[in-house]
Chains A and B, each alone.
Chain A
Amino acid sequence: MNEFTNNPIDINQLPKFEEVQLKGLHPKYVTVLLFNFSLLLILVIVGFSTLFYFNQDAFSNAIWMTILVGLVLILAGLVLFTKFSFHKKGYAFREHDAIYKSGLISETTTIIPFNRVQHVALHQGFISRKLGLASIELFTAGGSSSDLEIPGLLLADAQIIKNLVSQKINPPKQDEPIQIASTETPLTEEHE
Chain B
Amino acid sequence: MNKSVDFSQPQRQSLPGILVMFANSLQKTVRALWPMLLIWLVKFDTLNKLVFFGSVAGVVVLIGIISYLQYLFFTFHIDEENGEFVIQKGVLNKTRITIQLHKIQQVNINQSLIQRLVGVHKLEIDTAGSDKKEASISAISHELATILKERLINHSQSELTENAEKNVEEITPTSFIKIGLPSLIKIGFTSNYIKSFALIFLFFTTIVENLQQLNAEVIDEDQVTNYLDTLPIYTSIFIVIGFFITLILLVNLVRTILKYFDFTIQKSKQAIILSYGLLSTKNTLLNPNKVQKIKVTQNYFQKKLDVTTIGIHQASSDAEKVKEKDQIEVPGCAEIERDAILKLLLGQLPQKGTMYLPNWRKLAVNTFFFLLVPIAITLFLNHKTEFVTWNDWFMYTAIFSVFAGVMLWFSFKNYKLFVSNDFIIKQNGAWDIDTTIIEPYKIQAIETQQFFWQKATNIGSVTLSTAGGTVSFTTGNYTEIKQLVNYWLYEVETWEKNWM
Q: Which positions in A face B, CB cutoff 8 Å?
A: 9, 11-12, 14-18, 96-97, 103-113, 115-116, 140-148
Contact = CB atoms under 8 A, between A and B. Distances in A.
B486 interface: yes
Contacts of A18: 482
Contact of A148 (B319, B445, B499): B445
The majority secondary structure among interface residues of chain B is: mixed
B482 A16 contact: yes
A107 to B, nearest CB: 5
A110 B487 contact: no
Contacts of B222: none
Contact of A113 (B320, B451, B489): B489
B485 A112 contact: no
A142 to B, nearest CB: 3
B448 A140 contact: no
A35 B483 CA distance: 39
User: B450, B463, B465: which has the most chain A beta carbons within 10 Å?
Assistant: B465
A159 to B, nearest CB: 23
Interface residues of B, number: 29
25 contacts: A11-B487, A14-B487, A14-B489, A15-B490, A16-B482, A17-B482, A96-B489, A103-B449, A106-B451, A109-B449, A110-B445, A111-B445, A111-B446, A112-B444, A112-B445, A113-B492, A113-B493, A116-B445, A140-B465, A142-B319, A144-B319, A144-B320, A145-B470, A146-B447, A148-B445
B500 interface: yes
B486 A17 contact: yes
Contacts of A142: 319, 444-445, 465-467, 470
Given A14-B487, A111-B485, A143 B452 contact: no
A118 to B, nearest CB: 9
Contacts of B487: 9, 11, 14
Interface string B249-261: 0000000000000
B443 interface: yes
Interface string B476-490: 000000110111011
B117 to A, nearest CB: 40
B312 interface: no
